[in-house]
Structure 1
């Protein structure tokens, strides 16, 4: 198992070679069996055909001589001569002897090479006449009925071929072909020839059966006439030291090639007869020679399969190496990234998934570099805030989760900045107010002293005031009528403003509903993105079968991202609209409130004017009492003068505290309240410098029926 775990190439080789070995083994067994059967059939046919051919040649050779014997046996001079020969007269003393002798010589002269002698034998006198001049003695030891050829001829009642024997005079292997001679239906003698087997031996020795095969020529009595081993010649098969299977092959005529063993060697043999003589030609060939073509073919087949397996292993090795090298580069790059080194260079130029992974790695590295830039910039900005400088400038465009950090940092900085600005403004106002109070208190103290001297002058002018009060009463009556008209106009404006407030509230409710719809769109985009991610995971599990679905899932995820981004942009616009509507609503409400105040003020002004008119009449009567009040005021003014001096001292102390607060706030560098704070000063520049990622090209036709591919329990998203 460790061998499999170390290399993809080894896994591919094993997973490919093992089935191939099994397949080759099955193929080898099937082909070997079929080829062996075919070769065996062919070899058997060759053995059978060779045996039949050898038998035919021997049969054809013998047929010439058997025909000669049969033809001579029908010669009338032989039958007539035998009828005349008697027991009392030697054959050489008969007058027909010279003719008979010459005829025998003529027949023997037909083939002097193979025919050693032609002869006739008389049955009654038991005399023999041969073409070589030999004539048996009348009444001698030569008895025709005791001759082997006669006994065989008698058994067969026709032509017979004797067992081979060695001729005494020539020392050649000889056979005798004999045939009965009939006269008037009765056998009167026999005609025959003594024939040498040299030609048959030459024929048999010239025959070839493969490289080591051989032929054996035996008689009907199983006497060996020819054998490559000369020691076996003229021996009966039972006298030869061969296996029983070999003896059975020689004794029995076979219809098929026989498998047998002899001398520890496996052999193939076939036995066929020579014409109707009863003699047999037995062919034998070693089994090893028969199987030699099969063994050679099997060796070639094994070597071919081995070469194919080696070639396949080499091809798979180099192919796997070509696939593994990009993976190794990716692993090295991944280790460098894990170690914090983002300076990686993936030189992978393939047209398969490895290039996609490499492209994804490059995008990941760029994204990580962007994250590091985010972190560095956020660290610098936090350090800047720690130093009291709230003038934040963001040079990076924050995406994803970092956008939340940026928004939180911006909102925190703005909140602290606004708070400190308000504190600074309040400190300035306190300082300014304390100065004014101090100055006012001093002026009040001085004015109180001056008021005491002016009270007397005031008393003198009271009489003049009384006259003017009467005129004021008349003018107050006229102002009352004008104030009534203004009050009516203001009431109508109030009604119109209430209608406007209701319209603004309706717009606000509608915008809130749109915001909810955008929120639902954002949720749908988020769920679509989740489903696309799940689909991509399932497509990755499906392998090559899921590649098309992975592309669809990736495009769905892109669409979900775009939808989410559009929803966010729309939500931002709607939020800005809501803020504007809220601001307008506040202004309208403020205006309505102001109008209500104006209405109430107008009504109140009318009432006051009426009261002024009534009071003016009463003031004339009460002016005398004013003089008394002036004297009392003079006493109060003196008291106010002392109090104003005390307030002036307290105001100076408050001014000193306000100045100290301003000095503390001066340590913070704040964005001015009147200047718009833009935290994306360099966003456009960043967008132009930000590296772009090449997205895979997709055909539009792949997404024409997108809803048919993104379903979950019948619900389409």
Structure 2
């Protein structure tokens, strides 16, 4: 899924928008949190101060009532004053204790026991020690069963303690004030003394209990620090995080502690955070939808480019396809580059197609020509083998002729000896001359055959020269051999003509000799001379026949070498034919590969292959083979 550029852009944009909204929400959250904390601290302080002042006013009003009795300390009738103060100040009881006598006067005239000494009472000692009005710790009244505190105010005369006025008052009103303090539904307040004793708490069972029951941290040291703290302190009470704000109660060592439930106090902040999260989700979803639609429109042309490239890459691509180049954006630039690229590829493939077609035609013609050349080369090799066999026969005949010439020379010598001995062998000489005449005729026939062989050899040498000239550099050695063969053929022809001339002359002379013998025997000297001349001529014939035999042997060797080279050429022609066939197969494969694309139609003319030259070369080869045959 992430392989799509559109999806990745969409995802990246969504992430950026989400991060931006998260950053904005975080800044807003922390800003609101700071202001909210300040507001909570102010509200908590206001609640604590307002209710603390109310409680302080309650304490101060009762203390001032007692302090107003300063002028009545030495009154003769104190009971009415105490009773009036008890009635007006909602005191449960009022009384005056004197320092000098230890006497205590109650508002209702109650007489305390004889051992009752107010000067050792905590409220008395506390007032004396403080030198001002004090409020004692609450205690349970035995009559009403409610919480009661004693307020005591000392009076002096002439710088000396004269008496201490006291009054017992129920703190139900104070408890009601404390119980009514609830900034949030789960928040509460409690009134605690300096020693950590709970004076008032929403839970009546905790009254007069140590504050450590609420939390082990609520000891006197913590309460002392809390009284001096300017910011709320955080603490876990009743398994919930609370913000504690303390307010001292004037005239007492009490302090009003307001415990604000932090979760409820920050509910608005959490609501803001939730709304920010919801806004984040909605904005991201909306941005994704809108941006997705925009990207779909923007990427439509890019998808066209992709589809075109996929069509080309699939092997059935249409290289005649061109993309519209509309606009100047990146897509238009890609389309322009794509069109240029496809045009270049199409041009290259068209060139390859034309070249492959030309190669295919040329390879076909090369293969055909190679096959024809191979066939003609085989025919030439066969003809050359036949020529070699004929030359071997000629060689055998020439050797036989040389042997006959030597034998004739020996016979002529014998005839000369016989002629010198006398005419008794004239008849034998006649017979011998007839044999010589027959041999001369055979020699003449052989010389004719040699003359024909020399003519054929000359033709072979001429054709070999033609083929060597066509072979170029590789046929240079063969041309030299052909020249030597042609020279030998020429010399053989000349020798044959000379031999034929000599044989003709010899025949005439033999005929003359025979005629002379038949005419009654010429003189022996003429016969001997004639026989000597015949012997000389036969010696020359023998020498010429030997030389001719040597030349024919060289021709035979040259023809054998020519046959070997022709066989090698035939093998090379076969290899060339196989290579031409492979070239044709590769050209067909190349044409098939290029045919997988659709290209523009252009001039598909093939390179000109000179069929005339090829046919002329073929005709020349055929003429040479005909001459060899």
TM-score, normalised by the number of residues in structure 2: 0.49
- Structure with greater Cα Rg: 2
TM-score with structure 1 length normalisation?
A: 0.43
